[in-house]
Amino acid sequence: MTFCLGMKVEEGLVGIADTRITTGTQRITARKVSTHEYGEQPIFVMTSGLRSVRDKALTYFDEVMEENDEPFDKLYKAVNSIARQIRRVAKEDKKALAEAGLRFNLHALVGGQLARDEEHKLYMLYPQGNWVEVSQGSPYYIIGESGYGKSLLDRVLRYDSPLDLALKGGCLAFEATRNSAIDVSYPLDVVLYRRDSHEIVEHRYEQSETAEMAEWWQRNMEESLIRAPADWMGDVLNKLSEKNVVFKTSQP
């Protein structure tokens, strides 16, 4: 499984991707985020799904960019080109994959800002080649293992959140996922894009680099649970007392 998270806030874009790939009994480390340049305009692509499908589709896309066959002055045009390459791979390989019991399940997050884009853009691309744009009302998408980090991001991430807060929240969403999903793990690749900069920066985090934050978060969640209002539990706990059932309380 995979954890890839793309976030769009007013300040810019944040992309976060784990690097674990599980094949049968083997676990390897490989990048799931790549950067591509059209002229001097960079974009990033994060993927989940079969590695072979991903590599083939992006190889085809790189060829399109190198040959300059298609003018990409807006990001959606590049997304459409990636979609065409995904459909091309599906036409070539989907039947054979299905016969081998494998699903054609490539999802992608594509972010950046090309020459005629008025602002930075982020798109989520489906295996069928259709896509949706990330909006202010829902400023993030997760592909891969999406269930564990969503609750945190729904509570803390807004379009007007600072870029650094988005990065922090995204890394904690990854931690929540890593704690519950054994096939998601470090190293963690991060890409950042500041609005109108036309520059993407990349960084790889090892577990030791984010351990202090993860431990702080775990400790404070436990302490917050202990301090949370408990009067509402009185009625049901009193019923235990009436039955002479002894229980341990968490209240100080």
Contact 15, 46 (CB under 8 A): yes
CA angle 28/30/33 to nearest 5° reads 155
CA distances from 46 to 19, 68, 184, 232 (A): 11, 22, 15, 45
Cα 186 to chain centroid distance, Å, stands at 14
The class that CATH gives domain 3-205 is alpha beta
**What's residue 23's pLDDT?**
76
Could you tell me what percentage of the chain is helix, strand and coil, using 3-state DSSP and rounding each to the nearest 5?
Answer: 40, 25, 30
Mind listing the pLDDT tens digit of every residue in the chain (252 residues)? 899 999 999 999 999 999 999 877 788 999 999 999 988 899 999 999 999 999 999 999 999 988 876 789 999 999 999 999 999 999 999 999 999 999 999 999 999 999 999 999 999 999 999 999 999 999 999 999 999 999 999 999 999 999 999 999 999 999 999 999 989 999 999 999 999 999 999 999 999 999 999 999 999 999 999 999 999 998 998 888 887 766 666 665
**What's residue 134's pLDDT?**
97
Residue ranges of the domains in the chain? 3-205
- Contacts of 56-63 with C-beta under 8 Å, sequence gap 24+, read 56/89, 56/92, 56/93, 57/82, 57/85, 57/86, 57/88, 57/89, 57/106, 58/34, 58/82, 58/85, 60/85, 60/88, 60/89, 61/36, 61/85, 62/36
